[in-house]
Structure 1
């Protein structure tokens, strides 16, 4: 993912007064830097006594959609996770809708990116089993992959053409 992971933080006092006033902020910055940019935006508000803000838009979060009432700290943690796992972070968060479960899956259950689940089934089989040459052509890796998925042993996230991220479902 080459897109910057950022949030648009809006001044609610200005918004309620009919003015669009806010700032796009890189959500992976240190939380203190994010808060400093929010404070600077509020200080430059076209309305007096601007104190409240809200995240009104976001970019670079992949398949994950920030909730309407997501706080800056949560948005920052989610952005950092997506930055850490750019190939599948947003999709994994969208799958679980929970940062801790997504982090556990990424750190403990990730089996890699493959062209298909059948390719992963073949790799796993060949790494763990000695297959006689004369039997190798008879192994149906498509069926094995289907069984792995139907049984709930694994789940996959397809992020592009022949980009299937495989995770154990523990």
Structure 2
């Protein structure tokens, strides 16, 4: 029986569904780059030591002798979060783990807090939940607080405006990540 080989994924796609793929970075050899040559490798972001080991292998195979400097020239799977080309592998791996755990919501929080991973992590302590709309959240919070709303007045309440006011007043942060998929965080 002949061994089976995996068919490579078409260019620009991943072999795994997006939800299962690890973020990855393209690390370039700067010695080659500065001499007009492209040499680098796509590396799945796992742990800092594993990434550095793969970078060392890439640098050892460089067409330029004594190559030892590198930079991150591209990345994917970070859901829109920004990476510096000289970010430490500890930072890259921590962000990748956060994105794998929280997806696009995590990336949006990361950007919201000025690319501060610790603040983005801390925001989940104030996570109020996922709702179909911010208006649904405002209505639920109001009703759960014990506020009695007479039936005759119920139709006059604009829950959308109340939710918008809560966001504008800085009480909540609202992130829409899909159709009928809104995430609410209490503001600190």
Normalised by the length of structure 2, the TM-score is 0.82
Task: Write the distance in 1 (CA, Å) between the matches of 2:90 and 2:71.
Answer: 12
Superposed CA offset, 1:38-72 (max 9, x none): 11111111111011111000101112111233222
Counterpart Cα distance in 1 of 2:148 and 2:155: 10
- State the secondary structure of the residue aligned to 1:122: helix
How far does residue 133 in structure 1 lie from its aligned partner after superposition?
A: 6.1
Deviations 1:52-97 (A, max 9, x none): 1110001011121112332222111111111111140111111112
Q: Is 1:111 the equivalent of 2:128?
A: yes
Structure 2 partner of 1:143: 161
Counterpart position of 1:38: 55
Which range moves more in the overlay, 53-62 or 81-90?
81-90
Among residues 58, 77, 82, which one is paired with 1:60 in the alignment?
Answer: 77
Structure 1 gaps of 5+ residues are: none
Query: What is the alpha-carbon distance in structure 1 between the residues aligned to residue 24 and residue 107 of structure 2?
Result: 13
Q: Figure out how many residues of one structure are paired with residues of the other and give that number.
A: 168
Aligned to 2:65: 48
Aligned match of 1:169: 187
- Who is 1:159 aligned against? 177
Give the number of the structure with larger relative contact order, counting CA–CA contacts within 8 Å between residues 6 or more apart.
1
SS state of the match for residue 26, structure 2?
A: strand
- Give how far 1:130 is off: 5.2
Q: Between Structure 1 and Structure 2, whose CA radius of gyration is higher? A: 2
SS in 1 for 2:173: strand
Q: Hey, what's the Cα distance between the residues in 2 that align with 1:32 and 1:72?
A: 8
Q: What's the TM-score, normalizing by structure 1? A: 0.90
Residue 147 (structure 1) shift: 1.8
Separation of aligned partners in 1, 2:86 and 2:104: 26
Match among 17, 22, 26 for residue 35 of structure 2:
17
Please give the root-mean-square deviation of Cα atoms over the aligned residues, in Å: 1.7
